[in-house]
A and B are shown apart, each in its own frame.
Chain A
């Protein structure tokens, strides 16, 4: 339950970060607009990414068996995601440090790569969790990398990428003003339609093929409501509502995934007896009790101060408010008495 909350937090918050990163190049016309795009998530992206670290750490603490099987099993996808996240994190911070077009351009590609790869691969990974992988009796995952690329999993990757693109475009139109805002809004409207179509296929497939519960239809419905609501709201220029609606869509998708998994956390397609469940993968009651207390106390606090951060930086950005570049030139000039 808590793990699901943490993953939801990560995907809802990083969802628009990834979307913003993916839209960095296509949506902006010049460097000032690129900086506008990056600075909509400037103060918050790092805090958003910590949700992933905490989700990973919490999985380790609460379900060590799951943590061990999943991350050693999804070795290569995880490696790719880590490389992408490393490049992306450094790129945000370093792109403005040197005032040089080539320098900036390289880091922009880093942000693009670092946003696309996880946006697709997290979807592939979660779809594979739902679909099930080959797990032997010792809880070792034996599926190869190619096995992970089934049509259903690829559809999962496409769904997350599109959902995040829409989420990001809506976020951009919510956080900017002027001409750029209109461009972002127009794009979000188009993206919402595509992601509604692809997303609908994915959630219905998930529900029909992998969920044996009736209540997860509610999550399917909510996801549909979210995307359609986002589309209607963004068309009507209600960006705040559109953002809430697309966040609801991401949330509902995560609920559907964890709901259809329950009580498994990693089903084995070769032999159901080898599946990891919340019972056989869990830590001891003592550890779970401690983690529940710690998380129950700290998570609301985190939500409160992260919420406050969004409040502090609530004002819309415009290209005019982006200050002149202050990076140093690529090479040091000979210091002279006059320049300081």
Chain B
């Protein structure tokens, strides 16, 4: 193993770990904001109860999301310093703006929301959670601006004197079509995660309460929550599909190798089918790849919008790239321009497959709760709720694994219609001053630490979710006089 492999493993582990918690935060915070708004507008106590219940789960999740995010901000410099030097002029700006425009708002106003139940007037307190919900999305936008630039660099020139990519047009970086497709897809996915989480938890609790004979509780509290989650799943599910299709079409133009790898496409075809099951040794070469089940023409349609469109295969693309970017790297080794075929092929399919878990839950819930005021005691539905909750998380992870491993061997993928010199191989981006021992140390430390924290997180989340939504007292109305009172704090760590 070389330092670059260890550094790749480390980045993958900490990023996948971070992205377990991120979509739940992005998806759940607007739902909590909606619940609190519903409470203020309708005055119905069950919305307050749900706000506090899901708010608590949001906080347990938010804490670990923040903690794992800290590492990300410094990892580029620690392990990928050559990459940081090359792209810093462009890549650093969205990162810094993310901090200034989003992290400050999130952290400050979440603090106000947690501790401000009896300190702030109700409308201002509500505005705090909405600001948090908006800021999580602003943060996603800027970090995706940075990532999308790696996938499809725009607005950059190459300075031969310094050997660096330099910013030419910041507007172009923010208007990158890859960014807008990725942003839509990511936010829709996050809402799918949040919606599935709410429906899953509320649906499971509903069945439990009905079976315990507390039908009124199930009807009054958990049914509205399940329905809110259901609407979220429906809307975001459509968003995921549409934005996914949009992304695939961009990918076909901008990163044809990723597209070909995703489909295990070994020869250039017209009317290429979408393979559902493939056997053979996908990891090294195309030899022995057999597509067992295919939907005819679907890949061509996804890529080009035409069932008979032409899609290039891996060997042809390898040849094209060798001609354009050279056959050997800086060390004189031949470059394989295709990613790991098995990984990209399967992560693409698992992403789509796991997202279907949410759809299954939505259909079942829709059917069981179709009548006004109905609740269910269906055991199978309770089981489905528990199984469905992790599925969109897995789909989100596999989606990112596909996106990121599909761009290998590049860390900055050359833009076919951009500046050719704005490109970088992953092996050239790793820190040259950091030894393998140091990387292995940090890899081990982070993996162990994150492992322990993940166990704690699962334990706390299940503990609080299975406890159910306790009855709550409405917070006192706050005005200037009683803001100064000496009563106990409404919340203390």
Contact of B212 with A90 in the complex, beta carbons under 8 Å: no
Residues of B within 8 A of A35 (CB): 492-493
Can you list, as one digit per residue, whether each of A41-58 has a CB less than 8 Å from chain B (1) or not (0)? 011111101101110111
Residues of A within 8 A of B110 (CB): 46
Q: A39 vs B114: C-alpha distance in the bound complex, in angstroms?
A: 12
Residues of A within 8 A of B453 (CB): 86, 90
Can you list, as one digit per residue, whether each of A68-87 has a CB less than 8 Å from chain B (1) or not (0)? 11111101101100110111
Residues of A within 8 A of B104 (CB): 47, 50, 54, 298, 302, 306
Contact of A46 with B107 in the complex, beta carbons under 8 Å: yes
**If the complex has contacts A287-B93, A294-B100, A321-B487, are A89 and B67 also in contact, measured as CB distance less than 8 A?**
yes
Residues of A within 8 A of B79 (CB): 72
Main secondary structure of the interface of A (DSSP, over half): helix
Does any Cβ of A come within 8 Å of B96's Cβ?
Answer: yes
Contact of A68 with B85 in the complex, beta carbons under 8 Å: yes
Q: A299 vs B87: C-alpha distance in the bound complex, in angstroms?
A: 25
Does any Cβ of B come within 8 Å of A204's Cβ?
Answer: no
Q: How far is the CB of B4 from chain A (nearest CB, A)?
A: 14
Which 3 residue pairs across A and B have the least CB separation, nearest first?
A: A64-B88, A71-B77, A61-B92
Q: A323 vs B66: C-alpha distance in the bound complex, in angstroms?
A: 26
Q: Contacting chain B: which of A184-192, A261-269, A332-340?
A: A332-340
Does any Cβ of B come within 8 Å of A313's Cβ?
Answer: yes
Contact of B89 with A287 in the complex, beta carbons under 8 Å: yes
Q: A309 vs B98: C-alpha distance in the bound complex, in angstroms?
A: 21
Q: A106 vs B471: C-alpha distance in the bound complex, in angstroms?
A: 30
Residues of A within 8 A of B433 (CB): 72-73, 140-142
Can you list, as one digit per residue, whether each of B458-493 has a CB less than 8 Å from chain A (1) or not (0)? 001001101110110000000000001011111111
Contact of A42 with B111 in the complex, beta carbons under 8 Å: yes
Contact of A64 with B84 in the complex, beta carbons under 8 Å: yes
Does any Cβ of B come within 8 Å of A284's Cβ?
Answer: yes
Q: A75 vs B69: C-alpha distance in the bound complex, in angstroms?
A: 18
Which residues of chain A from 68 to 125 have a CB within 8 Å of any chain B CB?
68-73, 75-76, 78-79, 82-83, 85-87, 89-90, 92-98
Q: A39 vs B286: C-alpha distance in the bound complex, in angstroms?
A: 61
Name 9 A/B residue pairs within 8 A (Cβ), A-sorted.
Answer: A47-B104, A57-B100, A62-B92, A65-B85, A68-B82, A71-B74, A93-B493, A287-B93, A287-B170
Q: A315 vs B489: C-alpha distance in the bound complex, in angstroms?
A: 11
**If the complex has contacts A94-B456, A321-B489, A340-B468, are A50 and B99 also in contact, measured as CB distance less than 8 A?**
yes
Contact of A72 with B73 in the complex, beta carbons under 8 Å: no
Does any Cβ of A come within 8 Å of B112's Cβ?
Answer: yes
Q: How far is the CB of B94 from chain A (nearest CB, A)?
A: 8
Does any Cβ of A come within 8 Å of B63's Cβ?
Answer: yes
Q: How far is the CB of B117 from chain A (nearest CB, A)?
A: 11
Residues of B within 8 A of A57 (CB): 73, 92, 95-100
Contact of B103 with A50 in the complex, beta carbons under 8 Å: yes
> Interface residues of B, CB < 8 Å — how many?
83
- Cross-interface CB contact of A92 among B63, B91, B431, B463, cutoff 8 Å: B63
Q: Contacting chain A: which of B343-351, B357-365, B397-405, B437-445?
A: B437-445
Can you list, as one digit per residue, whether each of B420-454 has a CB less than 8 Å from chain A (1) or not (0)? 00000000000111100010011001000100010
Residues of B within 8 A of A42 (CB): 111, 114-115, 492-493
Q: How far is the CB of A20 from chain B (nearest CB, A)?
A: 12
**If the complex has contacts A68-B84, A72-B77, are A46 and B99 also in contact, measured as CB distance less than 8 A?**
no
Does any Cβ of B come within 8 Å of A1's Cβ?
Answer: no
Question: By CB atoms of chain A within 10 A, which of B67, B101, B110, B213 has the most?
Answer: B67
Considering the complex, give the chain A residue whose CB is closest to the CB of B72. Answer: A53
Q: A86 vs B448: C-alpha distance in the bound complex, in angstroms?
A: 13
Residues of A within 8 A of B434 (CB): 72, 75
**If the complex has contacts A64-B84, A94-B456, A323-B489, are A43 and B99 also in contact, measured as CB distance less than 8 A?**
no
Q: How far is the CB of B375 from chain A (nearest CB, A)?
A: 17
Q: How far is the CB of A224 from chain B (nearest CB, A)?
A: 33
Residues of A within 8 A of B95 (CB): 57, 60-61
Q: How far is the CB of A126 from chain B (nearest CB, A)?
A: 16
Residues of A within 8 A of B103 (CB): 50, 53-54
Contact of B463 with A332 in the complex, beta carbons under 8 Å: yes
Residues of B within 8 A of A67 (CB): 76-77, 84, 88, 92
Considering the complex, give the chain A residue whose CB is closest to the CB of B462. Answer: A332
**Residues of A in contact with B (beta carbons under 8 Å apart):** 35, 38-39, 42-47, 49-50, 52-54, 56-62, 64-65, 67-73, 75-76, 78-79, 82-83, 85-87, 89-90, 92-98, 138-142, 283-284, 286-287, 290-291, 294-295, 298-299, 302, 305-306, 309, 312-313, 315, 317, 320-323, 328, 332, 335, 337, 340
Q: How far is the CB of A111 from chain B (nearest CB, A)?
A: 10
Does any Cβ of A come within 8 Å of B68's Cβ?
Answer: yes
Q: A79 vs B444: C-alpha distance in the bound complex, in angstroms?
A: 11
- Cross-interface CB contact of A287 among B92, B119, B467, cutoff 8 Å: B92
Considering the complex, give the chain A residue whose CB is closest to the CB of B115. Answer: A43
Q: How far is the CB of B455 from chain A (nearest CB, A)?
A: 12
Q: A270 vs B85: C-alpha distance in the bound complex, in angstroms?
A: 22
Q: A42 vs B108: C-alpha distance in the bound complex, in angstroms?
A: 11
Residues of A within 8 A of B464 (CB): 97, 328
Q: A139 vs B84: C-alpha distance in the bound complex, in angstroms?
A: 13
Contact of B108 with A283 in the complex, beta carbons under 8 Å: no
Q: How far is the CB of B481 from chain A (nearest CB, A)?
A: 14
**If the complex has contacts A72-B77, A96-B493, are A61 and B59 also in contact, measured as CB distance less than 8 A?**
no
Considering the complex, give the chain A residue whose CB is closest to the CB of B159. Answer: A284
Residues of B within 8 A of A283 (CB): 88-89, 92, 167
Contact of A284 with B167 in the complex, beta carbons under 8 Å: yes
Q: A305 vs B220: C-alpha distance in the bound complex, in angstroms?
A: 38
- Cross-interface CB contact of B68 among A86, A139, A322, A340, cutoff 8 Å: A86
Contact of B100 with A65 in the complex, beta carbons under 8 Å: no
**If the complex has contacts A321-B486, A332-B466, are A286 and B88 also in contact, measured as CB distance less than 8 A?**
no
Question: By CB atoms of chain B within 10 A, which of A42, A45, A86 has the most?
Answer: A86
Does any Cβ of A come within 8 Å of B327's Cβ?
Answer: no
Does any Cβ of A come within 8 Å of B71's Cβ?
Answer: yes
Contact of B467 with A328 in the complex, beta carbons under 8 Å: yes
**If the complex has contacts A73-B433, A96-B493, A332-B467, are A306 and B108 also in contact, measured as CB distance less than 8 A?**
yes
Q: A83 vs B453: C-alpha distance in the bound complex, in angstroms?
A: 12
Does any Cβ of A come within 8 Å of B166's Cβ?
Answer: yes
Does any Cβ of A come within 8 Å of B266's Cβ?
Answer: no
Q: A306 vs B192: C-alpha distance in the bound complex, in angstroms?
A: 32
Residues of B within 8 A of A90 (CB): 63-64, 67, 453, 456
Contact of A322 with B92 in the complex, beta carbons under 8 Å: no
Residues of B within 8 A of A94 (CB): 60, 63, 456, 460
Does any Cβ of A come within 8 Å of B120's Cβ?
Answer: yes
Does any Cβ of A come within 8 Å of B376's Cβ?
Answer: no
Contact of B493 with A39 in the complex, beta carbons under 8 Å: yes
Residues of B within 8 A of A50 (CB): 99, 103-104, 107-108
- In the complex, besides A60-B84, A323-B490, 10 extra interface pairs with C-beta distance below 8 angstroms are A42-B111, A44-B108, A58-B96, A61-B92, A294-B96, A309-B111, A312-B120, A315-B484, A332-B467, A337-B213
Q: How far is the CB of B344 from chain A (nearest CB, A)?
A: 29
Residues of A within 8 A of B81 (CB): 68-69, 71-72
Contact of A92 with B82 in the complex, beta carbons under 8 Å: no
Residues of B within 8 A of A93 (CB): 59-60, 62-63, 493
Residues of B within 8 A of A291 (CB): 93, 96
Can you list, as one digit per residue, whether each of B312-350 has a CB less than 8 Å from chain A (1) or not (0)? 000000000000000000000000000000000000000
